Structure 1
Amino acid sequence: MDSNKKYWKGLEELNKTPEFVELNKNEFAEPIPIEEVLTGGGLSGKSPRRDFLKALGFGVGAVTLAACQKVPVHKSIPYLIKPEEVTPGIPNYYTSTYEGQAILVKTREGRPIKIEGHPNDIIAKGGASAQAQASVLDLYDFNRLKNPIKDGADAGWAQIDDFVVRELLAIKASGKAIRIVTSTVTSPSTKGVIADFITQFPAAKHINYDAVSYTGIIQANQNSFGKAVLPHYSFDKADVIVSFGADFLGTWISAEEFTRQYVSNRNNKSLEAKKMSRHIQFESGMSLTGSNADVRIPIKPSEEGPALIALYNAISGSSLAGTKALNNKVAENAITIAAKELTAAKGKALVVAGSNDVATQVLVNAINSLLGSYGTTIDLDTPSLQYAGNDAEFVEFTNEMKRGDVGAVFFLNANPAYDYYNSKDIIDGLKKVRLKVSFASNSDETSALCNVIAPNHHYLESWGDDNAIVGYYTVMQPTINPVYDTRQAEQSLMKWSDNPAKEYYTYVRNNWDKNLLAKGGLSGQSGWETLLQTGFVREAAKTAGTYAFSKDLNAVAQTIVDHSNSLGGDKVELSLYQSPAMRDGKRANNPWLQELPDPVSKVTWDNFAAMSPSDMKKKGLQDGDVVKIEGNGYSVAIPVLSQPGQAQGTISVAVGYGRTVVGPVGINVGKNAFPFYSLRNGTFQSSTAVTLTATGENSPLAQTQTHHSIEGRNSIIKEATFTEYLKNPSSATGREEGHKDYNANNLFWQKHDRPTYDWVMAIDLNACTGCGACVVACNAENNVPVVGKDEVMRRREMHWIRIDRYYSFNDNGQGGTTKETEIAKLDNLDHVKVVYQPMLCQHCEHAPCETVCPVLATVHSSEGLNHMAYNRCVGTRYCANNCPYKVRRFNWFNYWNDSRFDNYLNNEHTQLVLNPDVVTRFRGVMEKCSMCIQRIQAGKLKAKIEKRPLKDGEIKMACQQTCSANAIVFGNANDPESEVSKALKSERTYYVLEELNVQPGVGYQTKIRNISELEA
């Protein structure tokens, strides 16, 4: 353990910039704006008075009626609870599916209010992503289309049906093509409806189109093994993982599943067994996965292909033709080390790449074949079905439109007018199409070009199913009647093709009765009801086959080198990526996602050009300076951000922003980077050479990374190498001989009695990846308000749990002149290490907030929790001043019913997502994590009613329940057999700022990296 290591949250903290020092020298960033309170003014200048009649208008009425209507003819069956036993005030849980993952939907009095991962789901085992958690809010989006639209005007379904059927028959008679364009469809029943439609209209064809494509991997497997599939990867079976730009913990293919697998070889249980996987990451921009790697090597996109060729040569002992020198000594050394370790781990090794280039993925296949990965860490016989987009088919579709060959096109969950790299082809082509139908539930860039919009149900209003992995089938059932006059897209296609099933529910039911129930050993009505309770069926697992690679690689290597040469030169290399919150931009109107800080940059409400600190200095740029990026015939002006770990000579920009036709939350937030994609060798490629020019403007970014600085105290983060851990598991905690136990003496407080329960929490820093799903889960569970970009820039974000991101590097050896030291520090920033730390109210035994509150608004319970009595709070903010963890939040406004926040959560009926078990807080009141006290009380009450002791694990916090990595454990410290008691007894456990003797109730397990002393 290096005692000289320094941790810092951002470059402004590292360099002690004047702005940072000024903002942090006063605990209160600004005084309470009394003039705003007195005048009713504010950020927008609007009066905060609500239009009461508007608040009780159509929006609220629609959802209330939908929640209170009689149950549909085809009943949804709650999870293990019969509908007739529903009791007001008691939640019901329904099974459903989200992107192929089995979930539970919590409803209260007919209103879905919370998504939970299904504990038996094979993908995430009870975890759920930030996107899944936020999806319930989309149901209550007042900007959803409320009825069908024809030629820009509201219409009825009868009018739409009559028009579409007449047009389809005329187009069928004309012989012109009909195209159904969707994002990847994994629902067996939806596929059946589309197939039936094509039978009725033989000129029709189904085209899968994904904004972020995996065609390169699928086509590479076809070329390599004759199997056009997306593999099912098993990171839990890999002892050594080498990734080239694949953000498999963040956005790549199945991040929740991969997170669960990855952490299983690195968490408390694995470390106690003296086992830990090894992870080396090569990438351009700092990704969530790269920040969690044991060793991370920044490389340019042009260096990725040559690095893979070098890795193949080192493993195979051969030399491919056209081999290109890396000219990157650090990467060359890392490739040598990686090759040795992968070879030593044959059969338990895995190499992945994020590239969509077929040649690159063929080379990756060859490497994995040499390592014996097929049949162990890679399964081609039980593949993933999550992405099936075909880039070449979509390009041909655009050509068909331009030629005038397409008579009708239907868009389902696809928005190519926004996310296709050449949107002009879409716009021009659609002008030549007679019938253009969009099933968009919200207005988008593509629906704006259609003459018919037949709005689809939200998935929580729908019947359906999913099949994300071969052999695993999940069911979808409605948890509320349709809020608006929408109709399921499958029902519309059935209506227009005169499908004999008539209703989509009947179609789904017939499909399961005939084809799917038997896969789970079920049948008939009882089997259907069992399915609706359990949520899924699973076929017996197949044995993964082994595959040998036998193709000639010389031509492949030459293609890779040619692409590398096209990127290199004097230009800047641009790498496009998805942020874990915004992904491809489909949910840009979701405020929970917009306000979720990016895990690495901690930027909200914007995208930006991430740039190396060295390059920033060379070009004389500061954070927020707007630069013009030009490439692929497209240009965009976007603020730049100094990002440690970014490869020099490159910039990274997130896609999913810059929406122009969307609701008020997401419109014109950030810039659209999709046009920087290019079509190369038959697939869409995400890297290109660009020029970068400063515009002289500055657009500040709303970053949260240093909003709650703890002033450089070094007792916050504890980490060690795996080698050090094996020698002494407690070495990193500081609990060696001579350690002072600050909890030994109670100098000012009497010890609190904990007769029955002592609620505590353990957080494993080795399991936490920093994804932020817990932040959104907490928002949903505890009615945490969204405040918007302007308020975030004022340091007023309200999140009860935050994920602190710390950088570190070793300052040793940075001698020489001041200039030399500065240059060395800048170069060292390319190789920073990252640690994530969830930070919430620590529920201290000696809580410093309690002693300074003049009105006893914050008090300690007999169960070890720090409570807030909101009605007592008068807003002195003394408690926030006295909190060493900076986890208290002050309500500057009535966020939930002040009109200036209408675009975020306070609109016509979004408040109906509120959890009725948690009060909403008002202006002038302090709030913070309550350890989901409502869940604790409900769990205790349930045990009391059933006249039994409370079971360990029966109560889960919202943050804990959504975590696929199981990084957070909550429970009763009085139970020595509880999971949390065992976790806190780990030799890796330490307490943040223990020297203050506040005796926090949250213990952390140290961060362990599997690196050599040389790499350290």
Structure 2
Amino acid sequence: MDSNKKYWKGLEELNRTPEFVEKNKHEFAEPLPIEEVLSGAGLASRTPRRDFLKALGFGVGAVTLAACQKVPVHKSIPYLIKPEEVTPGVANYYTSTYNGHAILVKTREGRPIKVEGNPGDLLAGGGLSAQAQASVLDLYDTNRLKDPQMDGGDAGWDAIDSFVKQQLAAAQAGGKKIRIISSTVHSPSTQAVINDFVAKYPAAAHINYDAFSYTGIIQANQQSFGKAVLPHYNFDKADVIVSVGADFLGSWISGEEFTKQYVSNRGSKALESKKMSRHIQFESGMSITGTNADARIPVKVSEEGLVLIALYNAISGTTLPGTKKLENAKAATAVTLAAKELLAAKGKALVVAGSNEVANQVVANAINTLLGSYGATIDLDNPSNQYKGNDAQFVAFLNEAKRGEVGAAIFLNANPAYDYFNTKEVKEALSKIKLKVSFAGQKDETADLCTVIAPNHHYLESWGDDSAVSGYYTIMQPTINPVYNTRQAEQSLLIWSENATTDYYAYVRNNWISNLLTLGGLSGQSGWETLLQTGFVKVAPKAAAPVANAANVGAAAQLVAANSAKLAASGDDKVEVQLYLNTAIGDGSYANNPWLQELPDPVSKVTWDNYAALAPKHAEKLGVEEGDVVKIEANGYSVELPVLLQPGQAQGTVSIAVGYGRTHSGLVGNSVGKNAYPFASFSNGTVGKTLVATISKTGDVSPLAQTQTHHSYEGRDVIREVSLKEYLKDPAAGTDHGKEHKTYDLWEAHERPVYDWKMAIDLNACTGCGACIVACSAENNIPVVGKDEVRRRREMHWIRIDRYYSYEKNGKAEADEETGMVTKEKQIAELDNLDYVTVVHQPMLCQHCDHAPCETVCPVLATVHSSEGLNQMAYNRCVGTRYCANNCPYKVRRFNWFNYWNDSRFDNYLQNEHTQLVLNPDVTTRFRGVMEKCSMCVQRIQAGKLKAKIEKRPLTDGEIKVACQQTCTANAIIFGNANDPNSELSKALKSERTYYVLQELNVQPGIGYQVKVRNTIENELA
């Protein structure tokens, strides 16, 4: 740990608030409510704690008596004709694709239970996002439509087809327009189906509509270079990266792909070669990308464009028209230093901007032209296909519809009645269209306004393909028969256009055999079968064409300056608002997924809500505290949101996540948070997500369900962080190497002759995204508990990502020795420091200690050490004393307060007729009153060992991957056998950067962490 820095998890810990101090006097969230644990047994609600074991004894006795009674024997009936590909108890894996990523889908007895990344995936190399991991749960969502609907009631497919074809023919004959509105289509076969549909109905046209669009970048490239494309960015080829408001490790364009690229220049391998890229971030709200930057400079929303202009001026040595002096002195200094760094890395530099304003992107293009980025770190000739939405085209569609020119509108994966900023205009437009069809899988806000709902298959039930980036094609194949009476949208379009091929499987296969297989050197039926096994084909990229200097930069700079002036808030009640996507709920499409709702936000650690993120100093000025509800008003719309005090937030700004406030999402997502989309507006050809609003207190309070400070290390040091300069001087800087810790053995050590399972975690690679949390939940049947239970500190996640803020110590916020609290005066004096915090993310899970303190206090030997170095749980022995949780210094054990999977109070989240089909049969579901924790995916270890035994060979290194490791695009987690000196795990643990958390306690943890290294310029900015 950097001795010059102060590290803390949240403001309540920094300020030692009375609530924080009081909570940490108690080991557990609250006294054990016996009435909750035993209510199912009909015991008195006031059973005292000393009668707990009596009550349990009665329960155990009753179970024993029940086991001795004669009961009817129910014989299981085997398959009469066993499917060739199904072996009971053995998993099958199928290749498929998710948003352009090649994936593998694990099925058991014909039901998909887990999604994994395909190791050959070009984008993420086998890693997957939290959304992809959670997508399997949506398959079993009972809110999905069971049958097609017409005029609000169920209808048969024949009736739907007849009616739609009749209406389409009438619209065509009557000179009316037909419009297909979809989210970006990057499937070659889907696009071919749409093209065939348009050929059948010449009055038809296809409009790509994205709720969170990148029209600004596409149009800027058209203006600058005559190429209306979304570039393919190469962060792995950049030695210096400057981002102005682009959360490229999170929700910006292709977060997983960019994470893989980014870490390749910053992880262990890069550091071993004494190299590391430098990353400078300018942004208003704290993002995942900002937390990982070497230098992060908070700027107002209105200053982002001015930063780009200043950066261009500093690099070019000229002054653009409209240039204004940056009032933010820290930002001005950072721009000068950033320009110097970028010029020194010319040809290996990259500047990205998150704004959807065309003018801002034109200036960014001009900067990258000066740096020689095109053809190196930016590829215009092999572009991304991930976002093609055109904001102006959708506006034109609404105007056509309002004029009565549109006779039919078909919506595919698009929900503008929720996520367009002017839903009133959408409803008015749809009211004048006779035929309105939605392919929504559930009755969402737009489907609710439609004449016909032809529910689409879930992607795990579908055939298809994808091409997220040019030259990379992935195949989608079904892994289960349709759960409900749904039909693939493409097949519906084929039927309605009376295509010669109405079977979409045949259509996809023909398209590949005729057009795509040859791109990957395959052909015919054998090539098709090879494709289904590999999951993708890659094509050699096109050579980069020379790029001329970006055009129109002078005019763009003037427009940037004018827009910045409009965004500048003046007055105490005015704030600059930024709307953003978070990595869990995204644009709102995932709002009904409980795994994602309960995933803590990577920065704020808030679950089940969106909020108004304010800088602590700004909140102090407004007289509001965390959890206070404020009203934000702009553009004729207002929302009331709880306040989150966010260190690092730019003063005078508010960040609000979109994707919440759904009304037709389902039982889980309805009425969670507030809808912020209506704050957006259309100008200069794009939909902007920044604005000026008024803010006021309401007097209400709505506590947030935040997980970060649920557990305390009692002030012990757990983070190690150094600068690259310090690391190059001493690779062991920041570790405990050379520092002696006395060790004591209270018992004889046991030999581990074959396996000694351990883990290494690279803090330099971990971005804090949280995908590992969802992967662990999916693999290990971890239940969702809901907002109220999270507030009570009862979340069940086996792995958490601790987020630590830090800044240079100045002694202001030291706690009073007598009370343990920080005075209000010292808190206020500290506020200036909170603008320039840095962040470290640390995955924390059971450390599988060799001297595990939990094992020595368990009265029933429910937790014991295995002969392979694992700390194991025997759930049926556990009586729920919670002594183990009390004695665990890492606070990684979870207590089951309820039978979450079967308790009626959790119906909205888990308990329905289909959701339990997602459970992994290799892992038991735990019951009320027991402890659970990370098992190092022991079921995967056993499966790997069994496979090697059957094949009569030793296990190979890397053959067994735990769930958190497998999904990590950054390769931050390494698991393996420490007895193998050549294993990747052993090499990682031998790194000079490796240290062990709380090693001084002599618990001998089995997880080694590698020190966080920053290529910092903070000293130069100070």
TM-score by length of 2: 0.94
2:520 matched residue in structure 1: 520
1:643 matched residue in structure 2: 646
Aligned partner letter, 1:631: A
Name the CA distance, whole Å, in 2 between partners of 1:578 and 1:221.
23
Greater shift after overlay, 508-517 or 28-37? 28-37
Name the CA distance, whole Å, in 1 between partners of 2:824 and 2:936.
49
Name the CA distance, whole Å, in 1 between partners of 2:690 and 2:80.
51
Is 1:584 matched with 2:587? yes
Q: Deviations over 1:405-445 (max 9, x none)?
A: 11000000000000001111110111100000000001110
Displacement, 1:696? 0.4
Contact 1:607 1:657 in 2 (8 A): yes
1:729 to 728, 731, 743: 731
Name the CA distance, whole Å, in 2 between partners of 1:423 and 1:939.
53
Q: Deviations over 1:86-114 (max 9, x none)?
A: 31111010000000110000000100000
Greater shift after overlay, 834-843 or 502-511? 502-511
What does residue range 799-838 of structure 1 map to in structure 2 within 5 Å? 799-812=797-810, 822-838=827-843
Q: Deviations over 1:900-947 (max 9, x none)?
A: 111101112100000000000000010000000000000000111111
Is 1:855 matched with 2:853? no
Name the CA distance, whole Å, in 1 between partners of 2:667 and 2:193.
34
2:698 to 691, 695, 699: 695
2:921 matched residue in structure 1: 916
What does residue range 387-398 of structure 1 map to in structure 2 within 5 Å? 387-398=387-398
Aligned partner letter, 1:951: T
2:889 matched residue in structure 1: 884
Greater shift after overlay, 673-682 or 911-920? 673-682
Match of 1:732, SS? coil
2:601 to 584, 598, 603: 598
2:161 matched residue in structure 1: 161
2:901 matched residue in structure 1: 896
Name the CA distance, whole Å, in 2 between partners of 1:690 and 1:705.
30
Assess, with a 3 A threshold, how the Cα gap between structure 1 residues 69 and 238 changes in structure 2: closer, same or farther: farther
1:1003 to 995, 1000, 1008: 1008
Contact 1:629 1:693 in 2 (8 A): yes
Name the CA distance, whole Å, in 1 between partners of 2:106 and 2:337.
49
1:57 matched residue in structure 2: none
Q: Deviations over 1:330-350 (max 9, x none)?
A: 000000000000000000000
1:460 matched residue in structure 2: 460
Contact 2:813 2:827 in 1 (8 A): no
Name the CA distance, whole Å, in 2 between partners of 1:69 and 1:444.
41
1:793 to 791, 794, 809: 791
Name the CA distance, whole Å, in 1 between partners of 2:895 and 2:813.
44
Gaps of 5+ in 2: 46-77, 815-821
Name the CA distance, whole Å, in 1 between partners of 2:36 and 2:810.
51
TM-score by length of 1: 0.95
Assess, with a 3 A threshold, how the Cα gap between structure 1 residues 303 and 704 changes in structure 2: closer, same or farther: same
Match of 2:1013, SS? strand
1:26 matched residue in structure 2: 26
Displacement, 1:823? 4.2
Assess, with a 3 A threshold, how the Cα gap between structure 1 residues 941 and 211 changes in structure 2: closer, same or farther: same
What does residue range 192-591 of structure 1 map to in structure 2 within 5 Å? 192-570=192-570, 571-591=574-594
1:869 matched residue in structure 2: 874
Displacement, 1:546? 3.5
Name the CA distance, whole Å, in 2 between partners of 1:909 and 1:2.
50
2:755 to 739, 757, 768: 757
Name the CA distance, whole Å, in 1 between partners of 2:983 and 2:970.
19
Aligned partner letter, 1:605: W
Name the CA distance, whole Å, in 1 between partners of 2:11 and 2:117.
37
Aligned partner letter, 2:949: K
Aligned partner letter, 2:938: I
1:61 matched residue in structure 2: none
1:123 matched residue in structure 2: 123
Displacement, 1:31? 2.3
1:1014 to 999, 1002, 1020: 1020
Name the CA distance, whole Å, in 2 between partners of 1:829 and 1:983.
34
Name the CA distance, whole Å, in 2 between partners of 1:488 and 1:893.
39
Name the CA distance, whole Å, in 2 between partners of 1:691 and 1:70.
68
2:665 to 662, 680, 684: 662
Aligned partner letter, 2:611: F
Contact 2:2 2:720 in 1 (8 A): no
Name the CA distance, whole Å, in 2 between partners of 1:30 and 1:222.
60
Displacement, 1:812? 3.0
2:70 matched residue in structure 1: none
Aligned partner letter, 1:723: K
Name the CA distance, whole Å, in 2 between partners of 1:215 and 1:162.
37
In percent, how many aligned pairs have the same letter?
73
1:678 matched residue in structure 2: 681
Contact 2:37 2:897 in 1 (8 A): no
Greater shift after overlay, 533-542 or 958-967? 533-542
Match of 2:361, SS? helix
Assess, with a 3 A threshold, how the Cα gap between structure 1 residues 464 and 70 changes in structure 2: closer, same or farther: farther
Contact 2:242 2:350 in 1 (8 A): yes
Displacement, 1:727? 0.2
Contact 2:455 2:486 in 1 (8 A): yes
2:636 matched residue in structure 1: 633
Gaps of 5+ in 1: 46-66, 72-82
Name the CA distance, whole Å, in 1 between partners of 2:877 and 2:418.
50
Displacement, 1:747? 3.0
Q: Deviations over 1:662-700 (max 9, x none)?
A: 110000000000111111211011100000011100111
Contact 2:147 2:484 in 1 (8 A): yes
Displacement, 1:37? 3.9
1:775 matched residue in structure 2: 773
Greater shift after overlay, 617-626 or 411-420? 617-626
Aligned partner letter, 1:561: A
Aligned partner letter, 1:982: K
Displacement, 1:173? 1.0
Contact 1:69 1:481 in 2 (8 A): no
Q: How many pairs were matched up?
A: 977
Aligned partner letter, 1:1014: E
Name the CA distance, whole Å, in 2 between partners of 1:598 and 1:565.
32
Contact 1:7 1:712 in 2 (8 A): no
Match of 2:697, SS? strand
Q: Deviations over 1:852-881 (max 9, x none)?
A: 000000000010000000000000000000
Q: Deviations over 1:243-292 (max 9, x none)?
A: 00100000110100000000011111110100000000000000000011
Match of 2:281, SS? strand
Contact 1:68 1:110 in 2 (8 A): no
Greater shift after overlay, 670-679 or 545-554? 545-554
Aligned partner letter, 1:811: K
Name the CA distance, whole Å, in 2 between partners of 1:41 and 1:85.
44
2:987 matched residue in structure 1: 982
1:840 matched residue in structure 2: 845
Contact 2:217 2:356 in 1 (8 A): yes
Aligned partner letter, 2:348: K
Name the CA distance, whole Å, in 1 between partners of 2:193 and 2:551.
39
Displacement, 1:141? 0.3
Displacement, 1:825? 1.4
2:624 matched residue in structure 1: 621
Aligned partner letter, 2:371: L
Displacement, 1:820? 7.7
Aligned partner letter, 1:101: H
Assess, with a 3 A threshold, how the Cα gap between structure 1 residues 41 and 337 changes in structure 2: closer, same or farther: farther
1:906 matched residue in structure 2: 911
1:784 matched residue in structure 2: 782
Name the CA distance, whole Å, in 2 between partners of 1:488 and 1:952.
42
